[in-house]
Chains A and B, each alone.
Chain A
Amino acid sequence: MTSVAAVHSLWTMADGAAGSPLAPGGPSRIPAPHIEYAQLAPTLIVLGAAVLGVLVEAFWPRRGRYYAQVLLSVVALAAAFAAVIGLAAGGFGTTKAHIAAMGALAVDGPALFLQGTILLVSLIAIFTFAERRLDPATHGRPVDSFAAQGAAVPGGEAEKAAVKAGFTTTEVFPLALFAIGGMLVFPAANDLLTLFVALEVFSLPLYILCALARRQRLLSQESAVKYFLLGAFSSAFLLFGVALLYGYAGTVTYAGIAEVVSDGAKQIDPALADTMGNDALLLIGGALVVMGLLFKVGAVPFHMWTPDVYQGAPTPVTGFMAAATKVAAFGALLRLLYVALPGLRWDWRPVMWGVAILTMLAGAVIAVTQTDVKRLLAYSSIAHAGFILAGVIATSEDGISSVLFYLLAYSFVTLGAFAVVTLVRDAGGEATQLAKWAGLGRRSPLVAAVFAVFLLAFAGIPLTSGFAGKFAVFKAAAEGGAGWLVVIGVLSSAIAAFFYIRVIVLMFFNEPKADGPTVAVPSPLTMTAIAVGVVVTLVLGLAPQYFLDLAGQAGVFVR
């Protein structure tokens, strides 16, 4: 053999290449990847439907597009949820839990539980996306919360033309489906690259969705730009962290990293001989990856985007984002800390203590001064991120299941609360200024009472899901030896209770203003969303045992 053949072996698939001096024993055959399609069905269904949605957008007549998109999204999400149930019933959550797709994705209890939660929440969120009765019809056509044409300059001629033509942005449905697809992968990602890809897949559609508000478009676009820039930063941090961790461990799989952390590097990759096993890389890399995830959950000090984005984004998107993103991001954080970095817990636990305390206190204290209901809910979501972190810190099976339960409880309350916000309107669209909500309880006792239920659940008053969730995470934290964290947690709950109560005072005890907002009567879509929110809130508050069992069974990660 001559060297010519050796050169050929670089780019041909010639088998064997025996005696090739350049690739002694190197990978001579790329094996076909083995993909367990059935076990990845939930994600595949959603992403497939998203692609179909794009095609619908391209080929379906405009007149029927809205119905086609809503139907497609709902069917896809329901089918994906059924697939999750099927997998869970098939034992993939417990005994058959394993790593699928060549080590990229985990199919285990937490992944299935979180995917089920994300799908249910998304299904409800799609209902609020599809709501078309709240905004007054323009030019005789019903419109939703989204801009007539996202690309048109706000207030420009193109926008006026688009509004006049009665355009609606039905693209939001495939965008949402892409985001949901990414969120389904995120908590299941079992290596750092899949984690990063999933992050981008769900973040990019969200940036666009944030920019699409029909009213106050500038505010909406500003929020999208802020979210995008800060999100890009955090992605960069995360990616840098991934690179450093690869340098440390020579692999990006969670199991591989965990092994190197606990036993040290066994086989030194010659290309990484200088870096492997270097603790500085591990610590810095781990910190950067965690930072990227903390950004997504909105923990202090990476929370700055939350209030602006929550306020500017169209309210259905805010609700969806606040609920589903948090579920996905906490799922990913849990898996990273529990599967990849458990050997490092004496290092990350003190840091997480600090982050949790800061998050709880800052969220609760700053929320007190808010005058806009969406910003208020944004800061409350920050405070809740802190409570959930208390469960993450527990580093126990109880910790996992309590976080899972909290996420389930929290996401439905959040979705319901934002759905109520879409109903309270005046001439300028949604009346999100708190001062305008004065006396709402007199005008529309039912809507105000429903919102009060959500607020009480946020505040963690017994008999609501918020209390059961809070109790679960604090219990896990206390058993994990974080007693003082629990004390700080209940203190910040007390602060948080103050501003939730303030809204209730405003709604029920203040005299209504003459020019106050009215409550629009929604279509059954939003009504369903709110009703589901209330029912879940009360059921999880009164009889949480079944769901706690579910979360408990799901509380083991596969490695």
Chain B
Amino acid sequence: MADFSFPLLSATAVVPAVGAVATAAVPAAKRTAAKWLALLFSLATLVLALVIAVRFDPGAKGPFQLTESHAWIADFGVRYELGVDGIAVALIALTALLIPFVILAGWHDADALEKDATKRWRPTQGFFALILAVEAMVVISFEATDVFLFYIFFEAMLIPMYFLIGGFGDRAGVDDATEGAARRSSAAVKFLLYNLAGGLIMLAAVIGLYAVTADQLGTGTFSLQQIVQARAAGDLTMGTGIERLLFLGFFFAFAVKAPLWPLHTWLPGAMGESTAPVAVLITAVVDKVGTFAMLRFCLQLFPEASKWATPVVLVLALISILYGALLAVAQKDIKRLVAYASISHFGFIILGVFAMTSQGQSGATLYMVNHGISTAALMLVAGFLITRRGSRLIADYGGVQKVAPVLAGTFLIGGLATLSLPGLAPFVSEFLVLVGTFSRYPVLGIIATVGIVLAALYVLVLYQRTMTGPVRAEVRAMPDLKARELVVVAPLIALLLFLGVYPKPLTNLVNPAVDHTLSVVDQQDPKPDVRVNAVPGEAGTDRDAEAAK
């Protein structure tokens, strides 16, 4: 790009950051204005994200587009380098899309805290400012092509996230304020410690990477492109042991974030104790950075070690799928159920990433987007439900569909998307992941399919227990979805349907980036004996698959 071109990628991160500061600065009395301001900034970010998607040319050569590069900390070999590939564009769009809904859904989340508000303590302003701060950091970590720059925001986003979980937790079902605060803060601390520990181990690997590049290239660098090119040209050869250690350092941090079994235990608490919009922020937005980073950094920086680790990672992913799904079946708390379902889904994503086939990785990327939308739909509706009843326990509900049919209907669609019903977006991605895995590891693919069955179990049982049956006395007066809530849910559902039948825009965007990643890792798709009629990126494939079912 020319020097004078508009720094589109920076702007997409700067706008929410400015929005965060502006929102935080709104005077205490004008809290409604703060909400609108936050919404405005999130919409402005969405516009910029869409401009990125339009300006991005999937067919263009070169791994990254819209690049920006400036000197930053020369002593550390760090540059301010941004660039996007198709995967990043998709995830930036997802993030920018979800944040306005998160803000709208959380419109009244901080109101309960306003009773303690003073001139200085402004919970509403704080809540929305923190959401925008998270958005800014997530966006820039999707854009960063400098490992150090990525690392900084990967770590820094924990802090606003931590305050969102610990400071603005879900009050539903908490009788004792002190006990509620204790549970919230322990969930927040667990979240932070897990992720911080992961991040610090990654820091050791980041430093190690610098030492390796400084040793072999003369000057240390964190530039992803430079390292990948140097490897391809043979200027940079990591020792097998070193590469494996560095890979493990990076992977550990991403596996905590994603989260992968057995590093997942912070997620149910964090999602359970935070409000539904914040839970969406965690699982649909922030956690995606983990799986995204596996694709962008683990595979591309350490291709040999990635291949070496593949068997173990695949098994862990498989355990995640089954374990998450089994525990979801057993949950009594609606939000924790969604959390365990997410762990299962992250297992699918990681399975797709490490299957090292183009279908698998395209599927994994689509999965990230679709899981974001479907979980947002399910979780936000669940949040509306919980706010109405004041309880998170499944057993406290029953017969809601007769009282609030729209709510029940949207909840069902969110649930069906979660179980990957054909016709809804997640089906496409789950199918691609399974096909991609099957073509290389047939046994794993077969076992993973069990996850789908379990998903049907936990979603349908959840629906049955809460929405069907006799109307319980407590839910009799439950109002149906209001206009604001419909504005949140309807577009998400529309999107699920649209991407379910026509995923081509997404697959076109993602496929070149996936091919590039695979070429870096030096993996070709295996030639199956029985030709699976699944050319990634063709909408027809998915229809065929649907027809086949």
Contacts and interface: CB of A to CB of B under 8 A. Distances in A.
A456 B116 CA distance: 26
Contact of A545 (B74, B120, B193): B74
A511 B72 contact: no
B172 interface: no
B163 interface: yes
B324 to A, nearest CB: 26
A502 B186 CA distance: 10
A475 B211 contact: yes
B200 A486 contact: no
Contact of A444 (B74, B120, B167, B211): B120
Contact of A445 (B120, B214, B215): B120
B241 to A, nearest CB: 11
Given A501-B189, A509-B166, A549-B75, A491 B200 contact: yes
Contacts of A490: 200-201, 203-204
A497 B193 contact: yes
Interface string B241-284: 00000000000000000000000000000000000000000000
A442 B203 contact: no
Interface in B156-185: 156, 158-159, 162-163, 166-167, 177-178, 181, 184-185
Contact of A511 (B75, B166, B181, B197): B181
A462 B155 contact: yes
A476 to B, nearest CB: 10
B212 to A, nearest CB: 9
Given A461-B156, A508-B167, A545 B75 contact: yes
B36 interface: no
B139 to A, nearest CB: 16
A478 interface: yes
B203 A478 contact: no
Contacts, number: 114
Contacts of B156: 461-463
Contacts of A441: 121
B547 interface: no
B207 A494 contact: no
B166 A442 contact: no
Interface centre among A443, A456, A474 (most CB of B within 10 A): A474
A501 B73 contact: no
B76 A502 contact: no
A552 B75 contact: yes
Contacts of B153: 462
Interface string B67-82: 0000111111000000
B203 A474 contact: yes
A509 B167 contact: yes
Interface string A234-268: 00000000000000000000000000000000000
Contact of B181 (A472, A498, A509, A545): A509
Interface centre among A441, A442, A509, A552 (most CB of B within 10 A): A509
B335 to A, nearest CB: 19
Interface in A505-557: 505, 508-511, 543-545, 548-549, 552
Contacts of B167: 508-509
A24 to B, nearest CB: 57
Main secondary structure of the interface of A (DSSP, over half): helix
Contact of A501 (B152, B184, B193): B193
Nearest to B198: A494
Interface in A465-506: 467-468, 471-472, 474-475, 478-479, 483, 486-487, 489-491, 493-494, 497-498, 501-502, 505
A505 B189 contact: yes
Contacts of B433: none
A548 B178 CA distance: 46
A493 B211 contact: no
B208 interface: yes
B78 to A, nearest CB: 9
A443 B119 CA distance: 10
A35 interface: no
B255 to A, nearest CB: 16
Contacts of A459: 196
B138 to A, nearest CB: 14
Given A456-B159, A461-B159, A510 B185 contact: yes
Contacts of A158: none
B188 interface: yes
Nearest to A493: B200
Contacts of B200: 460, 490-491, 493-494, 497
B204 A462 contact: no
Taking residues whose C-beta sits less than 8 angstroms from the other chain, chain B's interface range is: 35 or more
A446 interface: yes
Contact of B189 (A401, A502, A544): A502
Interface centre among B74, B120, B210 (most CB of A within 10 A): B120
A493 B197 CA distance: 8
B181 A510 contact: yes
A486 B207 contact: yes
A544 B210 CA distance: 18
Contacts of B71: 545
A475 B148 CA distance: 12
B166 to A, nearest CB: 5
Nearest to B201: A490
B20 to A, nearest CB: 14
A439 to B, nearest CB: 10
B102 to A, nearest CB: 21
Contacts of A475: 76, 207, 210-211, 220
Contacts of A501: 162, 189, 192-193, 196
Contacts of A511: 177-178, 181
Given A446-B120, A462-B155, A548 B75 contact: yes
B204 A486 contact: yes
B151 interface: yes
Contacts of A493: 200, 203
Contacts of B74: 545, 548-549
Contact of B207 (A401, A460, A471, A543): A471
A490 B203 CA distance: 7
A539 to B, nearest CB: 13
A431 B272 CA distance: 35
22 contacts: A401-B75, A445-B121, A456-B159, A459-B196, A462-B152, A462-B153, A462-B155, A474-B204, A475-B76, A475-B207, A479-B211, A486-B208, A489-B204, A490-B200, A490-B204, A491-B200, A494-B197, A497-B200, A501-B189, A501-B192, A511-B178, A545-B74
Given A445-B121, A548-B75, A549-B75, 18 more contacts: A401-B75, A441-B121, A442-B116, A456-B159, A478-B208, A478-B211, A479-B210, A483-B208, A489-B204, A494-B201, A497-B192, A497-B196, A497-B197, A501-B192, A508-B167, A511-B177, A543-B72, A545-B74
> 10 closest Cβ contacts across the A-B interface?
A462-B152, A509-B185, A548-B75, A490-B200, A478-B211, A494-B197, A490-B204, A509-B166, A462-B155, A494-B200
Interface of B: 71-76, 116, 118, 120-121, 151-153, 155-156, 158-159, 162-163, 166-167, 177-178, 181, 184-185, 188-189, 192-193, 196-197, 200-201, 203-204, 207-208, 210-211, 214-215, 220
